[in-house]
Structure 1
Amino acid sequence: MADLVEIADAADPRLADYRDLRDVELRKNLEAEHGLFLAEGEKVVRRAIEAGFTARSFLMAPRWLDGLADVLDRSDAPCFVVAEDMAEEVTGFHVHRGALASLERRPLPPVEDVLAGARSVLVLEDIVDHTNVGAILRSGAAFEFDAVLLAPRCADPLYRRSIKVAMGAVFTMPWTRVPDWYDALPALSRAGFTTVAMTLAPDAVPIEEAVQGLDKVALVLGSEGHGLSPRWEESADRRAIIPMAPGIDSLNVAAATAVACYVTARR
């Protein structure tokens, strides 16, 4: 059972995991150094623990203790209890969902393990916005995709904002990073997947046509600004578009993923 530890000083060193959550670069360095990530909100904290992640600690305002009592009963990690204004002082924002947890990261699994038994996967190249990465994972989970692969420069799915937008889907959706960016798509083709790049290339066909009848498919999506790199666009087995009204040539990458996942799931 978690020990409840009341803290009255925002400078208390035991709160180090929760400091300056708005400073993205600082948080990336801190979380990588200490092998941790943060979950925010009752539902997300609960889903992280239920998925088997080990808590380092919890940070809660008193009114959230009852709602997460069963989670705290199953953990030996300390629960730091602070006033809501102190939580804001420590984290740098209003913690309106009341509860945070610091959890231990797991080593990333090999690509082969993530793809074992998979038929539908998402492959992300250089998507750097944490909100977009979280939304993409949520769409993949909603439409029963089996896994997500990320290029080395993609945003961290375990960054607090990604987790929050994904509503915890990152805890149950198998994912990892591809170690070889250059040969990533040919390697998927050799593994039996048809890679379908979402692009405005001249030979792109409607997504319904591109995925029709495929057994194992990998949807490939590129960065928010420039889309896919020439290497990934050209090395994909097929290229696809989402048909839309004249004068509108594209959607936000997260919205495009949701549409493409919906169509692909019904292939």
Structure 2
Amino acid sequence: MKISALRTVQSLFAASLLFAAAQAPAQQVLRVSAIPDEKPTELQRKFKPLGEYLEKKLAMKVEFTPVTDYAASVEGLVAGKLDMVWFGGFTFVQAKERSKGQVVPLVQRAEDEKFRSVFITTHKEITRLEDLKGRTLSFGSESSTSGHLMPRSFLLGAKINPDTDLKRVAFSGAHDATVAAVAGGKVDAGALNISVWEKQVEEKKVDPNVVRVFYTTPGYYDYNWTVRADMPAALKKKITDAFLALDAKNPQDKEILDLQRASKFVPTKIENYGAIEAAAINAGLLKK
């Protein structure tokens, strides 16, 4: 073979290798986080089996990164530093506004279609929302749906303005911290999501005979798993299908669902959170 012809073959071979390398998919990583409505260690514990399940279903690495506060979860997704986030209804609405509609909710727990908040206290004389006038109250995070927005909305509905009718309003930062504040006598009452309350009672971290629920809100849409709108459609479908495939009849799936406090996951859509958005605007927590 002539030298020129050999060089041509070598060049073509090298080019083919470069083309193949360019076409080979880079190792993908799904970067996941969640609003910090519980301690970071608890969030990590709850996500670990789910993350391992998603890795198998998606055939890609799944990394969970805790964030410092609710705003950081929104900014992380909007800025492209995160691919999927467990949002509350209000944080989803905030992310939708902040990104100008560039986020999409994929799935929620069946329980999130009629989620509720509870008001708790240690005081026997507090039996209804109206009894909170002149008292101290702790919400969770300012950006929490079930720990602030909806409890505030129902207080306003009962003709109680937390900012003027209560002696003092505090923000604990997380649902379990609200329980601790009420149990420790730091505040007269607190508002948190019913799921964390029930878990605290089940795990005997609080005595319901001492700290009791005196008001439970009507149901509303809440938590969901949200992704960026620019995520490839095929990956969105794989993620959605993976969540919908979780079956409580399967022991391994049941472990995952139990940790997520879910009976199953169901599809969701942006329109489901219209009432949350309206409540946020009405409460002065969201400006349009």
**Structure with the greater alpha carbon radius of gyration:** 2
TM-score, normalised via structure 1 length: 0.23
Higher relative contact order (CA 8 A, sep 6+): 2
Higher helix share: 2
TM-score, normalised via structure 2 length: 0.21
